[in-house]
Amino acid sequence: MLTVAVQAGGESRRMGRDKALLPFLGRPLIARVIDRLRPIADELLVTTNRPDAYRFLDVRLVSDLRPGRGALGGLYTALSAARHPFVAVVACDMPFVSAALIERARTLLVQSDADVVVPSSGEHLEPLHAVYRRATCLPAVEAALDAGAWKMISWFSQVRVHVLSPDEVHRYDATGLAFWNVNTPEEFAAAERRARSLADDEDGA
């Protein structure tokens, strides 16, 4: 059973306004992210410090339990709130988030003794497109926060981590766009153009 948690707690400084609510191809970006993951989710939730702004989504909204602690605090909130043993955590600003890749990570987590299955882009790990075993990860994240940590992977040494290689990622994300997060108006516009192009390609297939 899989909980999918979308983190919407960022301050969107470079965008200048809440990027999760900006219209992406006519719909709020976060709605696109949720719809892409809905088919694989047994539970959907959004972690946010502004729940009133997201009520239109009609999903469970959870306020940060550690406000002001960034993405690691959001991960702690997601793991604490999840009702299922496996928790996929993704960022709200990934318009091409891959359900197939998340599902592959969940399958590996179930079949192995790993606590985290996290993809690698080739340059770095992608903890905001990963799946976590709640029972073992929650205490490790809590300990990291209590120790003053901020980095999303600061606690990985305390658990068993399975890294998906770039080659394996490519098998489930052929476009190579799953980890593209939009932080500026220019990136947002470029992602919309790419999404339109992909849609046109599908229509013409």
Q: Look at residue 205 and tell me whether its pLDDT is greater than 90.
A: no
Question: Which pLDDT value is given to residue 9?
Answer: 66
* 7 and 89 Cβ atoms separated by less than 8 Å: yes
Residues 6+ apart with CB under 8 A from 38: 4, 44
Alpha helices in 131-175 (DSSP H): 134-146, 166-172
Question: Which pLDDT value is given to residue 199?
Answer: 78
* Model pTM above 0.75: yes
Mean pLDDT of 71-81: 96
Nearest-angstrom CA–CA distance, 130 and 137: 12
Q: To the nearest whole number, what is the mean pLDDT of the chain?
A: 92
- Looking at residue 9, its amino acid is G
Q: What is the pLDDT of residues 79-124, one digit of tens each?
A: 999 999 999 999 999 999 999 999 999 999 999 889 999 999 988 9
For the chain, list the domains and their CATH numbers.
Answer: 2-204 (3.90.550.10)
Q: Look at residue 12 and tell me whether its pLDDT is greater than 80.
A: no
Q: Look at residue 183 and tell me whether its pLDDT is greater than 60.
A: yes
Q: What is the pLDDT of residues 30-69, one digit of tens each?
A: 999 999 999 999 999 999 988 899 999 989 999 999 988 9
| C-alpha closest to that of 81 among 57, 64, 69, 59 | 64
Strands 23-24 and 27-28: antiparallel
